[in-house]
Amino acid sequence: MAVIGCKTSNINTLRLWQAEAVNEFDFTAFNNTEYDKAVKEKNDAENISKVLYPNDNKYEGKVLRLKQQYFFCSASLQDIMRRYKAKHGNDFSFFAKENAIQLNDTHPVSCVPELVRLLQLEGMGFDEAFEIARQTCSYTNHTVLSEALEKWSADLMTQVIPEIYNIICLIANKCQEELIAKGVNGDMRAKMRIIDGNSVHMARLATYAGTYVNGVAQLHTEILKADLLKEWYQVYPERFLNKTNGITQRRWLGLCNPELSELITDKVGSDDWLIDLSKLSVLNDCLDARTINKFNKIKAKKKVQLAEYIKKMDGFDINPDTIFDVQVKRLHEYKRQLINAFSIMAIYFRIKDGKLPNWTPTTFIFGAKAAPGYARAKAIIKYITEISNLVNNDPDTKDKLQVYFISNYNVSYAEKIVVAADISEQTSTAGLEASGTGNMKFMLNGAVTLGTWDGANIEIAECAGVENEYIFGARVEDIEKLKKEGYDPAAIVEANPELKRVVDTLIDGTFDDDGAQGEGSFGELHHALLKGTHWHDPDHYFLMLDLPDYIETKIRANADYADRKEFGKKCLLNVANAGKFSSDRAILEYAEEIWHVSHKK
């Protein structure tokens, strides 16, 4: 697929791979009435590229996932080799200079041993092949969550990709020899084993067998150096660097918000900001009442358009004259959509009790998808929809509070949502969101961030001014201290009647738990929060710690919105200072500092 550059002569190629069987149909099996067997090879092959990220809760899913990872890596590498050999023949001395492979998280790390294997097929020895692979590959870490840092069973690898496992063993031995030569002590070397017990640690393999390692926001990179990859940073500090994520303003402003784009072009004096987002800074000098009023009118128009789109797609009747408070992202416990839901229940009870007389009517919009086997994430979705049914139909609250969970959230939906949001919810537990890019899209279109001091939220607040965002909750150092000293969420809840009332809606009959009162998916959520599970401590993501501050911060943002000029100014300051968050800047940094690509500015 051709990927055409903007205002350049460059055309890149995106290659997509499809798995096909060598023998699609077994006539002998068919004639023996073994119809399933006749097409088994075809089905098995096509499954590899049919649906990415199959549920790997079971052994069969793990096998398919490993096959997928290897298949896509090998196909891409063989294509790279084919094109390289067409130019250079069997002279591989230029390979690392002309090719850069960026390992995005641990999923494509089998590229390293596969490249070694392919180079060995060209007659190269292991050491030489590994050195070329190391110079070619670099690793971007996207998460500090242990469950996302892949560890493959050695037995599974031996069964599915035995040649690759053998090469990993050679790399693992080479790593230990290198660490010994560097004078690394035994205890530290043990923490750096690529093969540890019966598990292959793909993050360790990627960190050792590449040139650079980077995080995707400043805080995230510091956490990699201080915690997750601490030993590696101590031994190879020169490999670590930060590359804060970015988004493309052509799509996330130019295409999806032409009205705001026109206002920006008028103020900047040209549309050059589309290829140099730093030019948005001109808006810092355009914060007069007239410009703010124009911005507010554009935002109001986008809210009307979103309301119409939601009506078309989901059938919901949304009032565009309310605040649009939006949380759209993958559903995961660490992203804490649940803390948002709890805060809505707290606000609902306060309105019912007459404790929020000046509440500005607000529409809370959720959009998310949960992984197929992630039962707890699906329980959170159900809980939010139960809240929606309650507050949207309560005559005491329906004119002040509306909650909607849109269906099939995707990029096309996002293009309508990010331009219409007033408040961007970024509620991850501090230290766990590597960066986020949704937060950048909302910022670029003039929404304030209501979020934790985490990931790129920090850099957003630093660029736009922390006074123009709504930051709440514990910081990384607070949470680390609590982990050491002990954290008792049940005690926090018992000491705070409002929190108890809210959390107990999971089990007190306020909502339908599929008839399993206190014993269903909501009961399981309640138990995990206050008592923990066999794999996690209670309230593993510190919702109860942050909830009181979050509620008050949300109410403060709601009150500030009433001053349309001042709130509009906060929004415009977010737009004006979003220049850092362009993917152009991010890709240029990768090109210059990791890939060492020569280019003309």
Instruction: Considering the candidates 40, 189, 193, 330, report the single residue annotated as catalytic.
Output: 330
Cα–Cα distances (Å) from 146 to 141, 204, 255, 434, in that order, read: 12, 13, 37, 13
Reply yes or no on whether 58 is catalytic.
no
Reply yes or no on whether 142 is catalytic.
yes
Q: Is residue 404 within 8 Å of 430, Cβ to Cβ?
A: no
HEC readout, 404-472: EECCCCCHHHHHHHCCCCCEEEECCCCCCCCCCCHHHHHHHCCCEEEECCCHHHHHHHHHHCHHHCEEC
- C-beta neighbour count of 285 within 10 angstroms: 10
Reply yes or no on whether 335 is catalytic.
yes
Within 8-107, strands assigned E span 11-13, 101-104
The answer for residues whose C-beta is within 8 angstroms of residue 179's C-beta and 6 or more apart is: 188, 189, 192, 235
Q: Residue 393 is encoded by which pair of tokens? A: 């139909």
The Cα–Cα gap between 24 and 40 comes to: 8
Query: Taking the alpha carbons of 584, 588, 594, 597 in that order, is the dihedral positive or negative?
Result: positive
Helices (H), 192-327: 202-208, 218-223, 230-235, 249, 258-268, 289-314
Instruction: Considering the candidates 204, 441, 526, 569, report the single residue annotated as catalytic.
Output: 441
The region, left, alpha or beta by phi > 0 then psi within -120 to 50, assigned to residue 7 is left
Reply yes or no on whether 151 is catalytic.
no
Write out the DSSP string of 280-310.
Answer: GGGGGG--SHHHHHHHHHHHHHHHHHHHHHH
Instruction: Considering the candidates 302, 329, 569, 580, report the single residue annotated as catalytic.
Output: 329
Write out the DSSP string of 532-581.
Answer: --SSS-TTTT-HHHHHHHHHHHHHHHHHHHTSHHHHHHHHHHHHHT-GGG
The closest of 147, 146, 55, 150 to 106, measured between CA atoms, is 150
Q: How far is it between the farthest Cα atoms of the chain?
A: 82
Q: At what angle do helices 564-576 and 543-561 cross, to 10 degrees?
A: 110
The answer for residues whose C-beta is within 8 angstroms of residue 50's C-beta and 6 or more apart is: none
Reply yes or no on whether 201 is catalytic.
no
Instruction: Considering the candidates 40, 142, 189, 369, report the single residue annotated as catalytic.
Output: 142
The Cα–Cα gap between 133 and 205 comes to: 12
- C-beta neighbour count of 498 within 10 angstroms: 16
Expressed in angstroms, the distance from the first to the final Cα of the chain is 26
The Cα–Cα gap between 498 and 189 comes to: 50
The answer for residues whose C-beta is within 8 angstroms of residue 408's C-beta and 6 or more apart is: 313
- To which H or E segment does residue 213 belong? strand 213-215
Instruction: Considering the candidates 107, 279, 335, 580, report the single residue annotated as catalytic.
Output: 335
- C-beta neighbour count of 60 within 10 angstroms: 11
Backbone angles phi, psi at 563, to 5 degrees: -85, 90
Neighbouring-strand partners of residue 401: 362
Backbone angles phi, psi at 571, to 5 degrees: -65, -45
The answer for residues whose C-beta is within 8 angstroms of residue 353's C-beta and 6 or more apart is: none
* Catalytic residue positions, numbered: 142, 329-330, 335, 437, 441
